[in-house]
Homo-oligomer: A and B are copies of this chain.
Amino acid sequence: MTTTKTNLSQALVEQLEKHIGTYTFGNDPQELYDPIAYIMSLGGKRIRPLLTLLAYSLYRDDYEKVLTPAAAVEVFHNFTLVHDDIMDEAPLRRGKTTVHKKWDTNTAILSGDVMLVKVYDMLLHVPEDKLAVCLRLFNRTATEVCEGQQHDMNFERRDHVSEAEYLEMIRQKTAVLLGFALQYGAILGGASQEDAQHLYEFGVNVGIGFQLKDDLLDVYADKAKFGKQVGGDILANKKTFLLIKARELATGEQQEALESWLAKEDFDKATKVEKVTAIYDSLGIKQLTEAKMESYFDQGFSQLSTLKVNKPEVLTALKALTQNLIDREK
């Protein structure tokens, strides 16, 4: 990655951080607004609004005009984190106490609700002639994100989940928001419908790829570089792409061993991770998942070549950002 590429994305993220840091969601009652300021201050990579600004910048030079509409995507993402963390009973988010643990569940529900209203407030900052189309796309996306979350919760209670069901769930739960972020930026920038649609498809495809990468890292990350415990998904019997594929392919003794590890209630953690990983290895699950992931990245990148844009440096920055996320080791 050259310095130039880094600089554009970095400059945009810095502007975004400044904008988010000074945006006033409200003050009174404090109990309602403090959690919003808190979750928004925990940082993260700001990938979604960055995608909006990059897509916009493919068509126009005045990205500072759409900082609030771009930030709306980040507020929505953080709203989903606040509510998902309640549902998942998660104690930590970005290494800090989750909202429902730092305050309480009721506060997390209600602060989340008002965050969603604030997203629509921020969406009102798009030009009036583009408001209806942006809202329609956003509503469809937000609906799919909720549907994906419900499917994810349903899968936890089910014995079996198919590969197709899993891929559709991650498309809804995480990928469509990346697609929307790009499509929305393109529309705000005045892109053609075709270009906006290609950027949407790019986002959805790499989004599915990113989730497969997450699934892979959870098992195959370098312990020294990975931020959290390697094998967490294995310990939790999480129906990731890897487990679904392994259960589909395992036969005979391997199948018995895998199913017995899934059924076991008392086990040594390190042993379970080691044994299940060994089954994955012998089935070639890592290579299978990598191939699947690559096919999504390829499909995504192929969309970019069809774009009618005249800003090679922005396109390069978009590709570099994506490549960084593909190559990440945590």
Contact = CB atoms under 8 A, between A and B. Distances in A.
Interface string A61-105: 000000000000000000000010011000000000000000001
A146 B32 contact: yes
B143 A120 contact: no
Contacts of A32: 146-147, 150
Contact of A117 (B29, B107, B142, B151): B142
A150 B32 CA distance: 6
Contacts of A107: 150
A147 B29 CA distance: 6
Copies of this protein chain in the complex: 2
Interface residues of A, number: 37
Contacts of A167: none
B120 A139 contact: yes
B117 A135 contact: no
A31 interface: yes
Interface in A130-162: 131-132, 135-136, 139, 142-143, 146-147, 149-151, 153-154
Dominant secondary structure of chain A at its interface with chain B? helix
A121 interface: yes
A253 interface: no
Contacts of A143: 26, 114, 117-118, 121
Interface string A21-64: 00000101101100000000000000000000000000000000
A136 B120 CA distance: 9
Nearest to A80: B113
Contacts of A105: 105
Given A86-B109, A131-B131, A154 B31 contact: yes
B132 A117 contact: no
A31 B110 contact: no
A132 B131 contact: yes
28 contacts: A26-B143, A29-B147, A29-B154, A31-B154, A32-B147, A83-B109, A83-B110, A83-B113, A86-B109, A87-B106, A87-B110, A109-B109, A110-B149, A112-B113, A113-B113, A113-B116, A116-B116, A116-B117, A117-B139, A117-B143, A120-B135, A120-B139, A121-B143, A124-B132, A124-B135, A128-B131, A128-B132, A131-B135
